[in-house]
Amino acid sequence: MAEFSITVKGLSLKKNELSKADAELLTRAEKASERAYAPYSQFNVGAALRLEKGEIIIGSNQENVAYPSGLCAERVALFSASTTNPNEVVEAIAVTARSKKLLHKDPLSPCGNCRQVIAEYQNKQKRPIRLIMGGQGEEVWIFEDASALLPFGFEAEYLKGD
């Protein structure tokens, strides 16, 4: 049996160390979390993405009593951007959460479904999508390429014949 390892490179910063553009994106994600419909989990997630042309599109999680019928904030924002701006490049996406039940100081990481969707859009546009992850604390994690969070993502090549 052979072993292997994976290295994930990212940055850990404080909110006051962010660039003006990244701070604005994270603030917009925080405001988007206030619009979440999360009556069951009370876990409000907000996402804000910046298109290459500078437009910011937000999303918030939308729950349903039948849990699989809901949708995460990241996917709401990405699907909205793709619908309204189908040929625009997504430069960055910020994600954050707040809860009425618990204090989440650490940065929030997108779920596996959202990681796969972000990777799909990154592959589609052939350019990396920068991820900015925050929580209710001051620490922020930044990854310059979404593939850092999904090193073994499901690829389109798997569906192609030889």
Closest CA to 113 of 142, 79, 75: 75
pLDDT in tens, 42-73: 999 999 999 999 999 999 999 999 988 999 99
Tokens linked to 86: 């189908």
Helix, strand, coil percent content, the chain, rounded in steps of 5: 35, 25, 40
Q: Rounded CA gap, 127 and 97, in Å?
A: 26
Asked if residue 6 belongs to a domain, the reply is: no
The string of DSSP letters for 60-109 reads E-B--SSGGG-B-HHHHHHHHHHHHSTTPPEEEEEEEEEESSS---SPPP
Contact criterion met (CB below 8 Å) for 49 and 56: yes
- 37 within domain boundaries: yes
Q: How many residues does the chain have?
A: 162
Is residue 2, in this structure, part of any structural domain at all?
no
The model carries a pTM of 0.92
Residue 59 lies in a domain: yes
Q: What is the mean pLDDT of the segment spanning 157-162?
A: 76
> Is 142 within the bounds of a domain?
yes
Judge whether 4 lies within some domain.
Answer: no
Q: How confident is the model at residue 8, as a pLDDT?
A: 84
Alpha-carbon distance of 75 to 86, in angstroms, equals 15
Which residues are catalytically annotated?
A: 74
pLDDT at 141: 97
User: Residue 33 belongs to what domain range?
Assistant: 11-150
Residue 152 DSSP code: T
Instruction: Please give the C-alpha separations between residue 60 and each of 42, 63, 109, 123, 127, in angstroms, as whole numbers.
Output: 13, 10, 15, 23, 24
CB atoms near residue 85 (< 10 Å): 15
| Inside any domain, residue 146 | yes
Q: In this predicted structure, what is the pLDDT of residue 153?
A: 81
Q: Residue 111 maps to which CATH number?
A: 3.40.140.10
pLDDT in tens, 69-110: 999 999 999 999 999 999 999 999 999 999 878 888 899 899
